[in-house]
Structure 1
């Protein structure tokens, strides 16, 4: 007998967080959905990179199944996809265009897209690069969930033809990210993120250069795929990979943490990183680059500190009082724990999915009246 799920996700990766931020985003959201009483299946393409670096092979908050090809996805899970109340295809799924066409042909009750890379996706579509999503497919989805909000949602509907674009920011697993009982910072400033060409100049300006100017302070950069030719100062420690279970301890060991945003996300605005929420939940004060919408999530100088150059970072590290630092951390944590946990985001998702159903019911009732 075919198992019936409330939601089926087809995403980049849930089982491995190595070199991608999708896994932590999905894990927080799906844990939240379980807490809300939803039964969830996650379907993931079995690829060598993630197979060799799995840190969550058997999740306790959803069912996880691997598939080898689009044909196997359809033959092995077609009945389940048809029976599910909602199917959500994620961004950057291997052969995503083919996956979307195949799932749409099955005809699930509600088909949605969850774009965890929205500004990048829009840029790819404008350039005609459609391996993961074709522009013609955008109107197929009942809801286009976007990790970026604000003006991006209007563009998705106006320019790309989305039926309904809804912000679904990333979120944090609040149970796994909490303040340290006895904080003893090991580093003055840290950064967690996979290497990216367009982020690296800001990392150079906002962490590496301050490290050169402050040789008596301690810095750390955690993340994979950094080139071997980067000239790291002696007081910058490197951690090649940091599994999600160690993120909280990492943030708890910093006086400040740095948030650096990819160029596409800065241009789009309203694109908070999951690292932003993780750090805030751990009561670690955040120094961030600026992008539109940031102060709507975390008010500047109240819940986040903005740095535009190395001098700003040096001033913060050397001149900000401990009381101001603690106030900023406390305010950010309160905001995140109220609005940006996995369970809060799960409620957002469930409410958005229910809205079209309620609208259809109201229309039917009106027609009968």
Structure 2
């Protein structure tokens, strides 16, 4: 790609994190891709009150097109995108997903790549397994490439078994320009803080890993952020609920408690290799992170040195009781060093750049196997820091 490739990206929202955890991922990747010379137009529907809860203005590193959440609106958006070099349909747009997944394939051409980018591969694959007549199943082999933001070998193998030409994970990461240490704020002070929306396949795990330790440790303070919890809170005097926490407050949220909790949704925990955006946000802020256990953690952060792992709610309580503030700060500092050196969106964008330039005529990435290793991603950092290299 000698010219500046134009990417038309259909996703949930770039400008709002409201009921939209993928926004941080989109922002970090698209901003980093712009450094490499990619021009992105992000198409998002005017839906779910996201435009009324915007976190950012329209950025300089991408063009944002907000279309009406109607059949006519999505059809016009797709028509406007037909001149792009690369078209991306992300999972979970939330409006006319089935229609978009089918119709975007009509724009395939020898000089145009059409990608399905799954930002919730475990949920997508479990949905297909439950419903063999799911219309997306027949479309998988037609996409030039499937990218995912997590899942590792289980997701790669599953997508290939379903006929994908290739599947490569592009993991969540840190954008050091937006997530970094700030001064603590009393309104976010707590012993343990958790930020996550109430979702059906995470709710039981939140009760186990967050509410249960809160009940066991009445002298500790627990802080909950995210949408949907107000109607399902246990009556505990040491528990506070904030509701939606805007993106501009995430750094202060992560820097104001002794530890920050990560709880994966059930499907992500089962597939493993799926670090949530909040892990990298918190690590970038230097927070001491406690996470529920899932396979593949050590690929991203070293347990007990850069992150604490809990298999049960009792493990969370034990960490809170046994880890001193000094050691918690040391763990947070080690996590920050690790993600800055290996897990930034500059690393991920360089990986995407290599994938796109390595596609063969049959859509399979000529070097995708090597690209899946941390060493492969580290070797690509030079490209991300010097856009002329390999462009």
Common topology (TM > 0.5): yes
Please name the residue that 2:387 is paired with: none
Q: Deviations over 1:238-260 (max 9, x none)?
A: 11111111111100111101110
| Counterpart Cα distance in 2 of 1:294 and 1:103 | 35
Offset, 1:221: 0.4
Q: Deviations over 1:181-200 (max 9, x none)?
A: 57988211000000023322
Offset, 1:48: 4.8
- The answer as to whether partners of 2:190 and 2:258 remain within 8 angstroms in 1 is yes
- The answer as to whether partners of 2:205 and 2:265 remain within 8 angstroms in 1 is no
Other structure's SS at 2:156 match: helix
Structure 1: stretches of 5+ with no match in the other structure: 364-369
Q: How does 1:188-337 map to 2 (within 5 A)?
A: 188-337=191-340
Offset, 1:64: 0.5
Please name the residue that 2:12 is paired with: 12
Q: Deviations over 1:110-139 (max 9, x none)?
A: 0001101101001111222877x6101111
Structure 1 segments, 4+ long, off by >4 Å, are 181-185, 357-360
- The answer as to whether partners of 1:144 and 1:166 remain within 8 angstroms in 2 is yes
- 177-186 vs 251-260, greater mean Cα deviation: 177-186
Other structure's SS at 1:178 match: coil
Offset, 1:61: 2.1
- 178-187 vs 212-221, greater mean Cα deviation: 178-187
1:145 matched to 2:147: yes
Please name the residue that 2:179 is paired with: 177
CA 1:52–1:181 in structure 2 vs 1: closer, same or farther (change >3 Å)?
closer
Please name the residue that 2:22 is paired with: 22
Please name the residue that 1:366 is paired with: none
| Counterpart Cα distance in 1 of 2:299 and 2:345 | 19
Please name the residue that 2:386 is paired with: none
| Counterpart Cα distance in 1 of 2:354 and 2:185 | 38
Please name the residue that 1:121 is paired with: 124
| Counterpart Cα distance in 2 of 1:297 and 1:5 | 30
Please name the residue that 1:62 is paired with: 62
Q: What TM-score results when the alignment is normalised by the length of structure 2?
A: 0.84
Please name the residue that 1:86 is paired with: 86
Q: Deviations over 1:173-230 (max 9, x none)?
A: 2112112357988211000000023322222222222222322221100000125142
Q: What TM-score results when the alignment is normalised by the length of structure 1?
A: 0.89
Offset, 1:65: 0.5
Other structure's SS at 1:41 match: strand
- 9-18 vs 247-256, greater mean Cα deviation: 9-18
- The answer as to whether partners of 2:7 and 2:84 remain within 8 angstroms in 1 is yes
CA 1:99–1:65 in structure 2 vs 1: closer, same or farther (change >3 Å)?
same
Q: Deviations over 1:150-186 (max 9, x none)?
A: 221111102x111000001122221121123579882
Aligned length: 356
Other structure's SS at 1:49 match: coil
CA 1:358–1:326 in structure 2 vs 1: closer, same or farther (change >3 Å)?
farther
- 214-223 vs 313-322, greater mean Cα deviation: 313-322
